[in-house]
Amino acid sequence: MLRIENLTAVIDGKEILKGITLEVPDGEVHAIMGPNGAGKSTLSYALAGREGYEITGGSVTLNGQDLLEMEPEERAAAGLFLAFQYPVELPGVGNANFLRTALNAIRRTRGEGELDAMQFLKVARARMKELSMPEDMLKRGVNVGFSGGEKKRNEVLQMALLQPKVAIMDETDSGLDIDALRIVADGVNALRGPGFSALVITHYQRLLNHIVPDRVHVLADGRIVTSGGPELAHRLEAEGYAGVLDEAA
């Protein structure tokens, strides 16, 4: 269970998150929607512990563990995964090497044995097949020269390998064509189960046709202004944010 209580955060002296309260129980997928500038990306970076995102109040726990006390890599080891809106390029770092290093770092903290290159390749190839990723993506530099769709699929591949307890998908659908969108959604849906929950951040309802959320929250001006079932996303699509926000006010 991811539990966020009255979280406030400041960037460059400006308050962006103004008291967010949210619970994502195990096994559930929640969507966060909201207009530009609502604080969606700030929320995901604040949860992952990025430098420069100063937490000024509130608490965040994952299965009772205080995330805010932890370094970013400790949060990752605790089971938090962030699928980046703009995955970062690491020139010269082979994708396979990166994925294996990450996987083994997490496995170490979980007290599991490290995978050698052959064991890793076996696991990675199986996951890549599910995501329709060509094998040469393992040999290329991390995200270097990847198309937008390939980068997002690479994020989902990492998620599938690391098997987090909670995944935050930060506008993973942006810039994807419909086929890529389906592949990414299938990747998330494949992980759905009692030990996995997700926070899907998106502008558009379209992704939620493929990843059907248990709950939808609307984020505006640093606060959750209203929440509901999947039908809320359809209403937003039909009426726009303005109508829903007015009503909430």
Q: Where along the sequence are the contacts to other proteins (CB under 8 A)?
A: 48, 50-52, 70-77, 81-82, 84, 87-93, 97-98, 101-102, 105-106, 109, 141, 158, 162
* CA quadruple 230, 233, 237, 243: dihedral sign: positive
Query: What's the order of all strands across the beta sheet hosting 65-66?
Result: 14-24, 2-11, 54-62, 65-66
Contacts of 1 (CB under 8 A, 6+ apart): 23, 24, 25, 26, 61, 62, 63, 197
Rg of the chain, C-alpha, whole Å: 18
Nearer CB in complex with other proteins: 34/164: 164
Residue 101: CB minimum distance to other proteins, A: 6
User: Looking at the DSSP assignment, which residues form a beta bridge with residue 55?
Assistant: 9
Nearer CB in complex with other proteins: 33/128: 128
Q: d(Cα 248, Cα 85) in Å, to the nearest integer?
A: 28
Nearer CB in complex with other proteins: 87/241: 87
Residue 76: CB minimum distance to other proteins, A: 4
Nearer CB in complex with other proteins: 33/159: 159
Look-up of token digits 């703009």:
86
Residue 71: CB minimum distance to other proteins, A: 7
**Chain-centre distance of CA 242, in angstroms?**
26
Nearer CB in complex with other proteins: 88/242: 88
Residue 81: CB minimum distance to other proteins, A: 8
Residue 74: CB minimum distance to other proteins, A: 5
